Structure 1
Amino acid sequence: MVYGRFRLYIWISSILYLAYFSCGFDPGDNYLIDCGSPTNTTVSNRVFIADNLASKFLSTPQNVLVNTSANSITSSVDSPLYKTARVFAETSRYTFPISQSGRHWIRFYFFPFVSGNRNLSLASFSVSTQNNVLLGDFSPNNVTVREFSVNVTSGTLVITFTPSNNSFAYLNALEVVSVPDSLITDDATSIPSGKFQGLLTQALETVARVNMGGPIVSFDNDTLGRTWVPDRSFLGQPNLAKSVSKIESVKYPPGGATSDTAPPTVYGTLTKMASEDDPNSNFNVTWDFNVDQGFQYFVRFHFCDIVSTAANQLYFNVYVDSWNVLPDFDLTSKIFGNLASACYMDFVTAVKDSSKIRVSIGPSSINNNYPNAILNGLEIMKINNSMGSLSGVGSVASSSTGHSKKNVGVIVGVSIGVLVVVIAGIICFLHRRRKVKSHGNSKIWVPLSINGSHTMGSKYSNGTTISVGSNFGYRYQFAAIQEATNNFDESWVIGIGGFGKVYKGELNDGTKVAVKRGNPRSQQGLAEFRTEIEMLSQFRHRHLVSLIGYCDEKNEMILVYEYMENGTLKGHLYGSGFPSLGWKERLEICIGAARGLHYLHTGYAKAVIHRDVKSANILLDENLMAKVADFGLSKTGPEIDQTHVSTAVKGSFGYLDPEYFRRQQLTEKSDVYSFGVVLFEVLCARPVIDPSLPREMVNLAEWAMKWQKKGQLEQIIDPVLVGKIRPDSLRKFAETAEKCLVDFGVDRPPMGDVLWNLEYALQLQEAVLLNDPEENSTNVIGELSPQVNDISNVETTALAQFETSSVDDLSGVSMSRVFSQLVKSEGSAEHYIAILQLEHEVGASLEENWLEHSLHGNI
């Protein structure tokens, strides 16, 4: 009888819900319970069922209901749902029949009031489902609603409340409501790069749901019963932001966002840059959100361009922490349709090692219109960890009381263990701090010595020892840098990066330089400054950009490089108006960059891993010779007895090795993967990530690999190259890129093999090779005949070429001629490898001689 009455109330509640949200989603399951209440409670046309009618679904050893006095409810806590509660003295469960499998909202309402001798603020408990821990050792301190989204695949949903030792659990109200399958799909874009798949199976907890530029949107104005809060309290600098509202303009395009995705009140309001008074505005609008460390987060951006008056008028950048996740974003591109069309973009962060997520929007450098950036709404949700937990402690509660007690013991044990580790960490930190203090903290930048080691520090750093090689340049005075850059004239800016701006400059002797000016207050900038000097003071190579000197006066971090007349490889491929490069020029640039990376990986006892290989970090001199630049993220490779370096994930969006991202284990093969992306970028002449394109085309590496596996890569190459690439050269080049992008680093070729393949692709482009037995083979070594008529003649010829070449040739393109000689003589792979090694050794030696002469003014 009770069960029948409950089903009747559920039916009535569903009818009312559907009537109110007639244009929204009709939930297959819709359980609303006012815990502890003897009667039904109506909240904004939603009927929460009385506690006794829900008892059919509750299994608990004790039946404890409490209610608060009228004077305990304040104006800020005026919902009738908080007037009563159900208290659980022992492990208790709600078991709900599920008629529609898939995602369900689970919302818990908590208010720690005092009733008689029962003080709910003393409660401590955990809450779990069959597969996930939702709350662990939880103690509500004030009124709160905790919202979760779980995927229910069985016919029942079991929610278990487990009191902590000598405590109890409680609940004021509960919702279990179906979610549309289309609300959260299985995949999203990983940050910093790649694709995240498997969202459908993850449990999520809502961290923030924000209506940018608009008022609070309560659950009765949202088709899915969500609450959207205003963004002002999250803004870092509210004076930089301005609100706009045009709710009546919102359109929901077919196949895009719907009113279930977010209501018109969200899409029809926004926060934008307050840039009206300054057409040269160059700042970001930033929001900060508190999160728990050790978890990944689902981040959904909601956009609707209600400020533009014409298509393609607004370009801007969107950042999550330091990652530019939507560079040069154009909301009115064909993927989103017309102006004022609602859309959203989904991302998943890496595991957070900090307690904040920072979201920013800012102007794009390619936008010739008035600088602006907008954001309409934002959702951030925590993703369960590998143990299925959203709390960070414990695992799924057992179904028996005895086991649940044991599980609580495990939770407590883990908590104590974590506490011990934290205390030990604090002791170590204090000891280290005391030790540093005893040596004295430097409050200004300490000049670096030209030879030997010195300690660099600032008021933001305890000091870092840097070993500066004797072949390094010298320290410039700040006044000299100011003069060289016309006092850092903004019109002389030739680039902007994470470290700072890069200015074109000219020294007193007429030498053209590139001056990179960092910010001494930036921890990231300090690390890059240090690493750049440490790395580039150790080596010089024809295909590595030379660091001429530095300046560390006046709390500045300034690096002075040789000037590269033709800018970046990226600029010659798209977006900067440079003339198009021919196929041979592109191959030679790739070969030069590969030489530089090969030198980094093999030139010293320990490899140097660049960690930020991308087309923007491959610079071109006046002769279009390639040089690898920007070593701020570089790391020395593993020890001889190790396979990798464990380190935090860093790199650039779109180029990052997915294996490095997943495992945080860095090897030289991470550079190889990034270089493979560059190769496809060179071939297709388009950005590696382009959100304006259809979903399957957004990621260049994925899109190009799809066509490569079809054997139809020529369908997507740069149109200016169509008909100008020999098929065999294109095939060899594409196979090389494909091998660089395999999933596992161990299966990728070393950079020396990549260099070999690119040299071969160039030879195939320049001439038809004679006596080539297997031109179509994917294995270059197999393409050279093992039958050699006169090996010694091959070696003599190749070595003679070394002896008669200039220093300039030896470190550059002369190897093309050596390679050609070997191929035409049908030389074996082993002999080419020997010659390649010899080139490396002789080249390194000659580089050193060249450096010695240059330091003494002989060159």
Structure 2
Amino acid sequence: MAATVLHFLSLTFFLIHFSTAFTPQDNYLINCGSSTNTLVDENRHFTGESSENGLSYLSKGKSISLTNPIPSSNSSVLYSTARVFISVSSYKFNIKNVGFHLVRLHFSPFSSPDYDLKNANFVVSANGKSLLSNFSAHFTMLKEFILMVNKEELEILFTPTRDSNFAYVNAIEVFSAPKDFIIDEGMTLISPNGIQDFKQNISSKILETVHRINVGGSKLTPFNDTLWRNWIPDEDFLVLKSAAKIATTIHPPNYQPGGATREIAPDNVYMTAQQMNIDNRPSNFMFNITWDFPVRSEDSLHFVRLHFCDIVSIALQTLYFNVYINGKMAFKDLDLSVLTFHELASPTFVDFVVQSSDNSNVVQISVGPSDLSNSLRKNAILNGVEIMKIVNPVGSEKRSKTKRIWILVGSVGGGSFLLSLAILSTLLVLKCRRRKPKPRRVESTGWTPLRAYGGSSHGTLLEGAVLGYGLKIPFADLQLATNNFDKSLIIGSGGFGIVYKGILQENIRVAVKRRVPGNKQGLPEFQTEITVLSRIRHHHLVSLVGYCEEQSEMILVYEYMEKGPLRNHLYGSRLPPLSWKQRLEICIGAARGLHYLHTGSAHGIIHRDIKSTNILLDYNYVAKVADFGLSKSGPCLDETHVSTGVKGSFGYLDPEYFRRQQLTDKSDVYSFGVVLFEVLCARPAVDPLLDREQVHLGEWAMEWQKKGMVEHIVDPRVRGQIKPSSLKKFGETAEKCLADYGIDRPTMGDVLWNLEHALRLQESEIQIDSQVETDITSVSHASPRFVPTVHSSSVGVEEDNDNVSSDITTSRVFSQLITNEGR
């Protein structure tokens, strides 16, 4: 029975997998030297050169077809014939989809009475760019290349050398790669001299596959891959096998928009990994997992793609690790949730260009634990590796051009001296002109320019919406402010990058969030944060000081919050505990910021990622909501919700939003309810080390709240400070926020009123009249323009920038939140 179920699940997965298989617009599969069509890998049809449809891609030259007189029963049918070229010859293919293409050339050197293919020596080029030089094969092999085809024809040219006077090929594959298969921008160069940005465009280079590794998994054949690739196991490349332990999952990867796809790597690559083998080792015993991948010593430049999918964690933000390439720190404190929009088990990948030292014959990859990891959870993973030789590395084209110029000059030298002098002068003038610096463009060349909301699609960077605020900061100023992004100034990681402490001119302290190199998801968050924060100002929202988008950089600069995230003051650090009054004031401040976010514009703004790490504290412990990279505009007047893909953080996510993918401001209310219990209990929203019923804070705290025993889960450090009436009001507020359905939850205005009420109950010795103790349900019907709030002198009167809003005290008990425009 179990075997039957397993077979059914495997068949179901197979059908799903191939129902979404990639279909390239250009797809040429040629069985060279054969007159018949051939089925390969059960789903690929190779066309014979003289098949019935009459198609022939041979363009020029002299060639003959050759048949293997002793075909092997174990080899592919493609290797039973070959096309032998006895002069310069080529295949030409019409290209419909200009862009990256995969080119595969199959070689199997069999012998016949007329030709021994082992003796062939030749050159292969594609549209004039060299693929293979002085090539000969002594055993069956597949050569795979990735190249940019920027015109509507691809010519693959075979040129025999004088050593053999003939060339050959058994089969050719040419097909278009998926969109964004390789992205030029944001590439990091790792060299013996250090780490820096790779200034060249990868699209101008040809990549030849050297290794494609399924780390922790078995061999994958083209039948298992939507791009028909081979992936081999990593076991033979592990330096110390006992350092690694295989991790597997039966659940398909959680693919996310903007992340990896099945075309980047098949499911099976992301469903297996190597992790640190910490069995029977002391918890403080630190080590790395290391792989050595052999390469040719003469090939100094390689494109390296690392694949990751967190299949070992049961909660977000519990896995931090370091990545090393050739002994250099390629990624420090890598948090995969940053690269995957806070989704668990979501595939992602990072690309590097690696320059090896002279005579080096390996590319070494290592992963190891981060200092940020909990001592009980130190781990590191890797799911896949691809290493490709850069066939025409940086500078080779310029050297060849220079060489041709001097050949021309030398030939002219036999003529008139004056003519030679004139040519040399002309060359010098042209050279000087080429060196003349070009005017710098205003927008970055690394990504699509941002555009103003509602403006022309051909507009410049956030015309009016951002530039009017003078927010643009030169990259040089940020280098100076952060001591060239000194690692000692790192204060954390944000939605898409590393956060540094910096000091701008006039001694302005700032937090500088720089996009992680190779992060493919940075642009949407970058655009959203600038757009949102340039339109709003509020005392309880973190202010955007500026941004930078030069030299393919994406950098956001915020006001510096001295006391850091709220979470750090609740647990996980040695900071002194916050008093109950401080906690109430912090929750009130955050609620004010969220209430303004929801009601301060025509449609309002939904944050989508409310959690204790996104509530920051300034020097005076004033709370400000931060990190608006996932924010969305609220529904229009005639709509009840915004339909959108689910984003957010595990443990804080609104279950109704998760089920229906319908976003409302009540989704933020749910997340804020989790934060309220986090403040009360001083424990994480998700803690996988606890018993099963305690793992999720929201569910666990609600059980105690509904039993009327919430006092039993209060942080012991403040338990004696809280008055029962204040605790009762606070617990009821959190409970309402965590209602299963959004319609049953209060608005943020209601939450704000009740939190200020809880603060007044805490501060007052006088019992409040029962008429004043209006519950959340009755307040929820109040006008959104006039939200009752309790004035707290400890928080103070707000004065928002740009006259957005202000708090006006109308009595000793209540205040009204007034706006210049309807909320």
Q: TM-score by structure 1 length?
A: 0.48
TM-score normalised per structure 2? 0.50
* Larger helix share, 1 or 2: 1
